[in-house]
């Protein structure tokens, strides 16, 4: 089952989301935990933000990291220097691994992009051993990611066709308060703990804010790529005004909140 993420170019993804995913990886790992002998599965690895954070900070036996977008998998393979890490293309809703194969299964910023996140969590649980840990994080899309809300609110004010896309970005059960916890409980995970994690997204200037969206990557990029030249220019102009506010162009710092959830596979 494909992700709803428009994946075309790994370098564009890095500017759009990879750099911010790396900031979120450390607090997410503090919540998810690791152990020295862990056999880890990471689903939705992208270009390796969480994978390489694990390699830098945690002791473990092996990581298998998968992503639906082969273009990201290939980029992560080229960047990898750690023999404990293996990247491969795969689908979180149809994992190829046997039951109970991993000690810990992790998903950073994936489940809100999967059409059936409950199915994905069930698969994550299935491949994790009894007593093992399943952990995931998803953006608080409605109230917690300022950069994206600036974009969608501005786009919807200009273009009626953007309104349902804005609504869709907030519709996943994974992004609501308590949403991941409910998905984890429905999958039969125990000792479920959900909490908010906060980072800052800090573009250097308006171009650094706008260009990753204009690259065509991700759901926002797909929307921008479908606009005509005049509509795109109007959107850029309004977004520039929203970004600048009453100040000169330059760096900004926006809060970004993610919901992080951790659960344990029952032993019986």
The per-residue pLDDT for 241 is 97
The average pLDDT across 176-188 equals 96
Say which CATH class 10-264 falls into.
alpha beta
pLDDT score for 1: 44
Give me the mean pLDDT over the 258-266 stretch.
Answer: 98
Give pLDDT tens digits for 55-77. Answer: 888 889 999 999 999 999 999 99
pLDDT of residue 6: 66
- Collapsing DSSP states into helix, strand and coil, what is residue 198? strand
Report which of residues 58 and 84 the model is more confident about: 84
For CA atoms 217, 219, 222, 227, give the dihedral sign. negative
Q: Which pLDDT does position 3 carry in this prediction?
A: 56
First to last CA, the chain: 30
CA separation for the pair 74, 117 (Å, rounded) = 25
pLDDT in tens, 95-133: 999 999 999 999 999 999 999 999 999 999 999 999 999
For the segment 187-228, what is each residue's pLDDT rounded down to a tens digit?
999 999 999 999 999 999 999 999 999 998 889 999 999 999
Please state whether 191 falls in left (phi above 0), alpha (psi between -120 and 50) or beta.
Answer: left
List pLDDT tens digits, range 129-172.
999 999 999 999 988 899 999 999 999 999 999 999 999 999 99
Mean pLDDT of 42-47: 94
Residue 182 structure tokens: 């409910």
Residue (of 75, 71, 96) closest to 5 by Cα position: 71
Question: 80 pLDDT exceeds 60?
Answer: yes
């Amino acid at each position: 089952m494909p992700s709803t993420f428009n994946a075309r170019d790994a370098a564009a993804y890095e500017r759009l989301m990879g750099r911010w995913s790396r900031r979120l990886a450390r607090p997410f790992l503090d919540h998810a935990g690791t152990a020295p002998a862990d056999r880890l599965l990471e689903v939705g690895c992208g270009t390796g933000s969480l994978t390489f954070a694990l390699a830098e900070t945690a002791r473990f036996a092996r990581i298998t990291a998968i992503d639906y977008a082969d273009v990201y998998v290939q980029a992560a393979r080229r960047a990898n220097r750690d023999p404990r890490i293996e990247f491969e293309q795969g689908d979180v809703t149809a994992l190829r691994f046997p039951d109970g194969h991993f000690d810990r299964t992790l998903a950073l910023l994936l489940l809100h992009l999967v059409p059936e996140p409950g199915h994905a969590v069930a698969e994550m649980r299935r491949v994790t051993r009894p007593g093992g840990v399943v952990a995931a994080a998803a953006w608080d899309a409605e109230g917690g990611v300022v950069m994206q809300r600036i974009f969608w609110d501005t786009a919807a004010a200009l273009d009626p066709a953007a309104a349902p896309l804005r609504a869709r970005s907030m519709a996943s059960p994974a992004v609501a308060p308590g949403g991941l916890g409910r998905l984890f409980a429905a999958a039969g995970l125990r000792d479920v703990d959900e909490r908010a994690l906060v980072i800052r997204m800090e573009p250097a200037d308006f171009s650094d804010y706008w260009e990753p969206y204009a690259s065509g990557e991700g759901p926002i990029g797909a929307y921008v790529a479908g606009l005509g030249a005049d509509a795109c220019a109007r959107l850029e102009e309004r977004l520039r005004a929203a970004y600048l506010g009453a100040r000169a162009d330059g760096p900004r710092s926006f809060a970004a909140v993610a919901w992080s959830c951790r659960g344990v596979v029952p032993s019986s």
